[in-house]
Amino acid sequence: VDARRARGTMKRRSSEDAANADASETPSAGKRARATTATIAENPTGDDDKSNAKSNRRSSRTSNAEPEAAAEKANGKPAGKAKTKANGNGKGATKGDDVTSVDYREGESLAAHLKLDEGVLDVCIPAEAASTANQHLRTRQLWGTDVYTADSDIVAVLTHTGYYRPSGVMPPNLGAVRAVIRATPHPEDGYPSTSRNGIRSRSWGHIKEGCGFVVESARAVTSSGVEIDLTPNTMRRKVSPTFFPIEKEHVVHTRNSAANATGKKGLIREVTIQYNLCNEPWMKYSVSLVADQGFKRSQWTCARLRREVLYVETHHKRYELSCVPGKDGEESRFRWAASKKPLPLDKTREVGVPLPKAHVDVAADDLRWDEIHWGSNSVIIRDKEYQLARLQYLPRGK
């Protein structure tokens, strides 16, 4: 009984303490009235609360619209368009031009994409289409000179303008060729036919509807993604690129039986030096030694032959390939000649490089570069094949 009385006393005391605490925290009626009067005096109409709510709603709408506006501002047009805006660093596109990327497909015309005053087209040509196997290139599907009809094949046009000369096989280090073209009005005199860089364009009369196009720039894209600018050859320069594949020398590794336990130390490399007909060391023939070493003009083999002369040998005969410079801006030609008697290198330099006519039997002295076809172990000169074993470059004599 005493315990229950003690617990009842403690409950009453705790209830009284809670009531006193609430009374101390709750303002009196007079204080509440004064606080309400002060609030109404500061904002008698309540417009600020409404304006704040509207402001919050507007800021919410603005923040939601900011990503779309940023996208439109970055692209220069509503989102969803395929076009992009040139920033001045684009290859061939003027700052502010609309650049539309188009993938080249053999047999499809670019006429549907060409519009006057609507920017430029950046055409991506896959490497497999940039070879002589392209049927539209083989059948010369291009009309005009400098300005071409809208249905002209872009691969044939790039060949005609001299940006490159396709080879018979796809270069392994070439990923794609990209060309920037721009729509232009039809020439008043129609589209003339000319022969350039080993291909002749077709002619066509004046066209009233649609437009033509011009090539503003081109670049090669390697398999590693590096872009290399290409230059046109419309002035019949003395050299031209071939895009011949750069094949590496095949290396055969054998294992030395006396060093089986040494792992990689037992691998020896195949010898690529051979002795020529005069018992002097020459390089073993490889197509990588006669192929273009890059996309720049100075790395083309036909340009190298303006500074050096190439000597090649079969197992029984020596031949000389030298450049014959053209006159008055004409395209260079090449001379293929057989040595009457193989001479040592020092004696060859004394006689003259290239050798005088008294020391050679000239087989052809007006060869075009596209008439020389290099193979893995031979060269074909005007339909005649020569099996090659070794080669050597010598600088031209002064």
> What is the 3 state secondary structure string of the chain?
CHHHHHHHHHHHHHHHHHHHHHHHHCCCHHHHHHHHHHHHHHCCCCHHHHHHHHHHHHHHHHHHHHHHHHHHHHHCCCCCCCCEECCCCCCCCCCCCEEEEEECCCCCCCHHHCCCCCCEEEEEEEHHHCCCCCHHHHCCCCEEECEEECCCCHHHHHHHHCCCCCCCCCCCCEEEEEEEEEEECCCCCCECCCEECCEECECECCCCCCCEEEEEEEEEEECCCCEEEECCCCCCCCCCCCCCCCCCCCCCEEECHHHHHHHHHHEEECCCEEECCCCCEEEECCHHHCCCCCCCHHHCHHHHCCCEEEEEECCCCEEEEEEECCCCCCCCEEEEEEECCCCCHHHHHHHCCCCCHHHEEEEEEEECHHHEEECCCEEEECCEEEECCEEEEEECCC
pLDDT confidence bin for 12, thresholds 50/70/90? low
pLDDT at site 86? 54
Residues 279-301 have a mean pLDDT of: 85
Query: Does 167 or 265 have the greater pLDDT score?
Result: 167
pLDDT at site 132? 85
pLDDT confidence bin for 206, thresholds 50/70/90? confident
On the question of pLDDT at 43 being above 60, the answer is no
pLDDT at site 34? 39
On the question of pLDDT at 302 being above 50, the answer is yes
On the question of pLDDT at 390 being above 90, the answer is yes
Highest-confidence segment of 155-169, 318-332, 345-359: 345-359
Contacts of 232 by beta carbon, 8 Å cutoff, 6+ apart: 161, 162, 163, 215, 218
Report the residue count for the chain.
398
Contact 166, 155 (CB under 8 A): yes
- Of 203-207, 209-213, 329-333, 366-370, the one with minimum mean pLDDT is 329-333
**pLDDT tens digits, residue range 118-131?**
889 999 999 888 88
pLDDT at site 251? 42
pLDDT confidence bin for 27, thresholds 50/70/90? very low
**Dihedral-angle region of residue 81 (phi above 0 means left; psi in -120 to 50 means alpha; beta otherwise):** beta
pLDDT confidence bin for 223, thresholds 50/70/90? confident
pLDDT at site 38? 38
Average pLDDT, the chain: 75
On the question of pLDDT at 88 being above 50, the answer is no
Residues 340-346 have a mean pLDDT of: 92
**pLDDT tens digits, residue range 255-280?**
444 445 444 444 444 557 888 998 88
pLDDT confidence bin for 372, thresholds 50/70/90? very high
On the question of pLDDT at 351 being above 70, the answer is yes
Whose structure tokens read 């570069």? 369
pLDDT confidence bin for 3, thresholds 50/70/90? low
Percent above pLDDT 90 for the chain: 37
pTM of the model: 0.45
pLDDT at site 1? 58
pLDDT at site 173? 80
